[in-house]
A and B are shown apart, each in its own frame.
Chain A
Amino acid sequence: MDTKPPATAQPGEDDRFIDTLIGDLQPIRRLKPGQGLALALLVAVACGVAISAWLGIRGDLANGAPHAMFVLRSAVLLALGIGAATAVLAAASPGIGVRRPGWWRWALGVAMLFPAGALLTWLVTIDTAAQAISILDPRYGLECLRMSALCALAVGGAMVLWLRRGAAVDPVSAGWLVGLAAGSLGAAAYSVACSENVVLYIGTWYTIALAGCTIAGRLIVPALLRW
């Protein structure tokens, strides 16, 4: 390491202030986004296990032959959750001009196929409100919302606790992304118990869950991340 004294440094009345900071110096471990992501995934897995124990695993998954729609739904939710979490956790280490992982936008684009598919189903195949209600099954749908939100709360809480150790310089963006990541991972955790495979159902209830969590993240998280 270059050990020559800095040419510009000069002693002054701020010496005592700097000495105070130096006196407080302790070796520290660097904050690594991978640890934050591991924590978020661990909490999501714990939520999945708890949901499985509480509500039971969906039949096809328990039999080792998951339905293609379940695989697709879980893959999209996990990709979106991991993508958004990676982006926001990387932002805990600030830097002007630093490029952040942005592939979550692609995952979001793919995830948008579900509400688009639901909308198309509405327009093409649903003729009556009774038919829509029958497919949407509001009682089960609200349960889906509640459970997803509960899991998202646990995942989001863990992410916020980790992020508070960091230095997010754009708390508003961080809030959106925490909400999106927590909502996606929370919904993925609940997904192991959700037996629905219909696009209209998934595109409606899961979209509401994700949108609600994202908006909640925007409203709640920024105040918790200011430093």
Chain B
Amino acid sequence: MASQDDTLRQLMLAAQAGDRQAYQRLLRECQLWLTRYFSRRIPPSQIDDLVQETLISVHRKRATFDGARAFLPWLAAIARYRWIDHLRRVYRAAETGLDEALQAAPQDDSMISCLSIDALLLQIPERQAEVIRLVKIAGYSIAEAAERTGQSESLVKVNIHRGIRRMSALIEDV
């Protein structure tokens, strides 16, 4: 029996050759997979938009799929890229204060998205999470973060680097 990945891989190969029926099946399967993938990462009300954005990326970047490799790791890489891009936009909006809706309703979906990163920060050592919050989220300089945490500047840099690497690994493992 062919595995799910093998079936999807075959569908993508057919889609790359222009087979619309195969492409329709592939997109529906991708849609379901992406909905599950994002449902653990962002608020429910944002899932549909992000799934659509990711499907557009799948469509635009379908030439980059290498038929000799598995399909789901390719899809997961694209989904993760779109998810991180989404979180970046949410944080940017929160930091700059340009998002009026966010200011008016601080407990809305955007804030829940931020919690996704907070959840990741809880899973790494506190000293790493602390400097990531200060430098990468609150916008403090390395020197200021060093002063606030009592860590040396080089240690702050090392902890940020290690913390982000751990968070990336956690994202990949999910």
Contact = CB atoms under 8 A, between A and B. Distances in A.
Interface of A: 1-2, 5-6, 8-10, 14, 17-18, 21-22, 24-31, 92-98, 165-167, 169, 227
A57 to B, nearest CB: 40
Chain B's interface size range is 35 or more
A95 B73 contact: yes
B32 interface: yes
B18 interface: yes
B54 to A, nearest CB: 12
Given A24-B59, A26-B18, A227-B57, A93 B32 contact: no
Contact of A98 (B18, B24, B73, B80): B73
Interface in B19-39: 20, 22-25, 27-29, 31-32
B63 A31 contact: yes
Contacts of B14: 1
Contacts of A14: 31, 48, 52
Nearest to B32: A8
B27 A18 contact: yes
A169 B80 contact: yes
Contacts, number: 104
A22 B29 contact: no
A196 to B, nearest CB: 37
A96 B28 contact: no
Contacts of B64: 30-31, 92-94, 165-167
A167 B80 contact: no
Majority SS at the chain B contact face: helix
A197 B77 CA distance: 46
B77 A96 contact: yes
B67 A30 contact: yes
Contacts of B2: 2
A167 B73 CA distance: 13
Interface in B135-160: none
Given A94-B78, A96-B80, A30 B28 contact: no
Contact of A227 (B7, B16, B61): B61
B32 A95 contact: no
A18 B63 contact: no
Interface string B38-58: 000000000010001001110
B27 A2 contact: no
Contacts of A169: 77-78, 80-81
B10 A2 contact: yes
Interface string B64-75: 111101100110
B29 A9 contact: yes
Contacts of B16: 27-28, 30
Contacts of A93: 64-66, 69, 74
B76 interface: yes
Given A25-B18, A26-B18, A169-B81, A94 B74 contact: yes
12 contacts: A14-B48, A18-B24, A21-B56, A28-B62, A30-B64, A30-B65, A31-B64, A95-B66, A95-B69, A165-B63, A169-B80, A227-B57
B121 interface: no
Contacts of A26: 18
Contacts of B20: 22, 25
B172 interface: yes
B84 to A, nearest CB: 9
A59 to B, nearest CB: 46
